[in-house]
Amino acid sequence: MASGDYTRVIPIYGMNIVDEDLPTIDTLLIAAKSATRVICVQRITFVPIQYFDATLSFIDTVTNKSIGNIVVPASGPSLGRNMYYLDFGPRGTPLSAGANLILGVTGGAVGRLHIEAFQKGRSSSAFGWMTS
């Protein structure tokens, strides 16, 4: 095989970064690009601006199960602000194929939410070799 020939197709991974100020009306955080895509969440960070009793749940829409919760107490730390995070490592925690990541909040949450994730797998395409 000559140099530059393809021997296999490598799926392209799309990065998703979400920065959201809470409270927010939209509960959809990351949408799967197709029914065959798998969202892998690597890290979720929440920095409260005001402290209220609140639980932030990050939910897989196919299974309706939470991949993790962040519990924010009613009173903040005595010095500075606190940062709450869920770290799933560089490979991330995968959602179900075609699932979206949504936010469920109980109580009041005011602050900055940051999510790092990627999507893997093939998108539906008229061409079998194309991914997006």
Domain ranges of the chain: 19-120
How confident is the model over 85-129, as pLDDT tens digits? 999 998 899 999 999 999 999 988 899 999 999 999 865 554 444
Give the pLDDT confidence score for residue 4 in this predicted structure: 54
Burial of 99 from C-beta contacts in 10 A (0-12 / 13-18 / 19+): buried
Q: SS in 3 state form for 82-128?
A: CCEEEECCCCCEECCCCCCEEEEEEECCEEEEEEEEEEECCCCCCCC
What is the chain's mean pLDDT, rounded? 84
How confident is the model over 29-39, as pLDDT tens digits? 999 999 999 99
